[in-house]
Structure 1
Amino acid sequence: MDDRADDVAQDSAQDDVAQDSAQDDVAQDSAQDDVAQDSAQDDVVLVDRRDGVLVITLNRPRAKNALDARVARAVAAAADELDASDDLRVGVLTGAGGTFSAGMDLKAFLRGERPTIEGRGLCGITRTPPRKPLIGAVEGWALAGGFELVLACDLVVAAEDARLGVPEVTRSLVAIGGAALGLPRRIPYALAMELLLTGQPVTAGRAAEMGLVNRVTPSGGALDAALELAATVAANGPLAVAATKAVARGTADWRWDEGWDRQAELTDAVFTSEDAREGSTAFAEKRPPVWRGR
């Protein structure tokens, strides 16, 4: 518990740095930072295609990748690119500078900005995540809105020194970006409430025990491990992968009997697709399948 108290104290400083950096860094470097971001909006989020994987990097390292309207629009655009491109199979979401994201940019908030997209949630992915799989690669801090972006991911890889949490209640706020709704669906209720009601962050190892993190890596190794995981997913039939995600995400909202009908609606076309025939043929011929996405 002493370690956790230390983490909270350290985390509070990091959270303040993240939000103060959205103030102090802007005040100190407003001409360079604000002008650069306003004139080159894409720079706040980097997008890189790697062998069927779209790597989306939050790129405000001096502000601990704090989320503002610019970041929200850029992440949403990247998610749209992922779903719209036939040659992209999986997305990986990460942060620059050794930190995932410390949450909302308070300076932007005070200006009246919200890092949300109408009807789509925080950064355009928490309420309506991409149709294709999204993997979170977490280094450093994933707090508040940053943690809620992690919850929008289907799979999560975190470095051993990462810290994840929702500190909103410590400021008399509510985690309305997806954590209060999503955590009780993702992990057991008591564990979800531990995070939501204490506001204290947990280590990557503890998050893995809770069921929030799939793989824990050495510090600095989260992105490489996430890319390895993404390559494994991307090697599978893209129609089947997308349909499987749709069924898995929908099941929480469906009655048991309704679920069978909804599953059939989402998957019938997969079984009659060219890819389904290719999968069986490739297996029989003992060769790697060649997916066409149809």
Structure 2
Amino acid sequence: MKRIVLLVATNLAIMLVLGIVSTLTGAHRFFAGSGLDLGTLLLFALIMGFGGAFISLLMSKTIAKWSTGAHVIDTPGNSTEFWLIETVRRFADKAGLPMPEVAIYEGEPNAFATGASRGSSLVAVSTGLLQSMTREEAEAVIAHEVAHIANGDMVTLTLIQGVVNTFVIFIARVVGWLVDSFLRRGSSEDSGPGIGYTITVIVCDIVFGILASIIVMYFSRQREFRADAGAAQLMGTPRPMMAALRRLGGIDSGDLPKNIATAGITDRPGWMALFSSHPPIAERIAALENAR
């Protein structure tokens, strides 16, 4: 019910663009004679990897508003908006957070939180969620999103994304150099990358980037358990969060736009579960039950 796929998808797009541009324009910097300068490559991978992750983090709130059409509530226009702002404020105060921006967007039951830091965050709730849930259940969902902010999940996931980005960039270019060296064996040219390097790196950036997202999604699923527990703590009992999860499991969650869509409301079967940002609802309810 939030924003992890936004971070991953934006990061993957940024890394793909940066990777292609750097490969086409600056790959020669990693070559020393006929070998590969691993030190320079590692430094480049660190800068690119963490740079891409933090760029996507800084863009996350703006893209979230744009992609969902979320309307930030500056002045409440009705009782529902007033209740929503006051609910977010109450949980933010209880969690020791600055007041996040609060937004509503049109759509099926869903919600998300995003932002580059605890002091620059956004909690957005869909009209479908407000209409289909009891106030107590909706409060639990809001508490869950506030708990994500309090836990610093966006920054944590960004750091994890930066690490896997670094490995993707580094390994892709090592593989590219090996393939290029194999294709050009016996060639009179003794330095610089060839077309084999360029094509291999672009393909590896895409494939390894997708595989790396499995790692990020694993950590995302662990963060969901923590956010559920945080919601239970903010609510004073796990019962409302469990009720909200049960209701979400029994209704059509709909889809957010592709770059912010999450898999948290419905379970993904088989190997697709590896790409899910949320654990199965049954596991989340069980975890809350066991913590009682």
Instruction: Considering fraction of residues, name the structure with more strand.
Output: 1
- Give the structure-1-normalised TM-score: 0.21
TM normalised by structure 2 equals 0.21
Question: Whose helix proportion is higher, 1 or 2?
Answer: 2
**Larger Rg, first or second structure (1 or 2):** 2
